[in-house]
Amino acid sequence: MDGIDRIIGHIRKAGAEECEAIRAAAAEECEQVREAYAKAELETYRDVIDAGGKDSENRQKRLNSLAALEAKKQLLSARQDLMSQAFELAAKTLLELPGPEYIELLAKLACRASRDGDEAVVLSPYDRDNIGGAVVEAANAALLAAGKKASLALSDKTARIRGGLILSSGDIDVNCSIDALIDQHRLELTPAVADILFE
């Protein structure tokens, strides 16, 4: 029995040692797997953080670009509004000239626009009633002084204009209204007005 007990003891000891070796090997393998997963997890975490950072940076750049574009749009819109106000102020200044100066302005417009000297002068209802005769008289005097035919006549018709005049001859109308003149010269005057407003 003694021999069997020794063999059993030896088998148990060998089995225990083998189990311990297997356990140690399994523990080491588990530790290696744990470390590999931890490393992979850390790399994945860094990749996610890097990707998130890059995404955030790209998003910030896009937002900054959009904000800059919107600011430019608003600045351009504000500048256009100021330009429109400047041209409106110019029109208003011309429309509010004192009577004699306004009559002289309209006479010069009629004189420059006249082709044959016998057109009809069409004014706004207010101007026709208040200064129509004076405008035609001054325009004819300017035409005579320039050595041209001077037979302009005040039209019975009126025009839906704020000021200025329209010279009418048959089917041909020459629009010399203040608004038409401002619009006509707006393109060429815009740079100079912009220089004054935005220096």
Residue 90 in contact with residue 193, Cβ under 8 Å?
no
Which pLDDT does position 128 carry in this prediction? 94
Alpha carbons 155 and 139: distance in angstroms, whole number: 14
Domain 97-198 belongs in CATH node 3.40.50.150: no
Domain limits, the chain: 1-96, 97-198
CB 178 within 8 A of CB 95: yes
For residue 199, give the 3-state DSSP assignment.
Answer: coil
Neighbours of 163 (CB within 10 A): 21
Q: How far apart are CA 70 and CA 66, in angstroms?
A: 6
Q: In this predicted structure, what is the pLDDT of residue 70?
A: 81
Asked if 180 contacts 113 with a C-beta cutoff of 8 angstroms, the reply is no
Mean pLDDT of the residues in the chain: 82
Assign 3-class secondary structure to 104-170. Answer: HHHHHHHHHHCCCCCCEEEECHHHHHHHHHHHHHHHHHHHHHCCCCCCCEEEEEECCCCCEEEEEEC
pLDDT value of residue 77 = 76
**d(C-alpha 124, C-alpha 129), whole Å:** 9
User: Tens digit of pLDDT per residue, the chain (199 long)?
Assistant: 566 666 666 666 666 666 677 777 767 777 777 777 777 777 777 777 777 777 778 888 888 888 888 877 787 777 777 777 877 887 898 889 899 999 999 999 999 999 988 999 999 999 999 999 999 999 999 999 999 998 999 999 999 999 999 999 988 999 999 999 888 877 776 777 667 766 6
Nearest C-alpha neighbor of 137 from the set 118, 148, 151, 116: 151
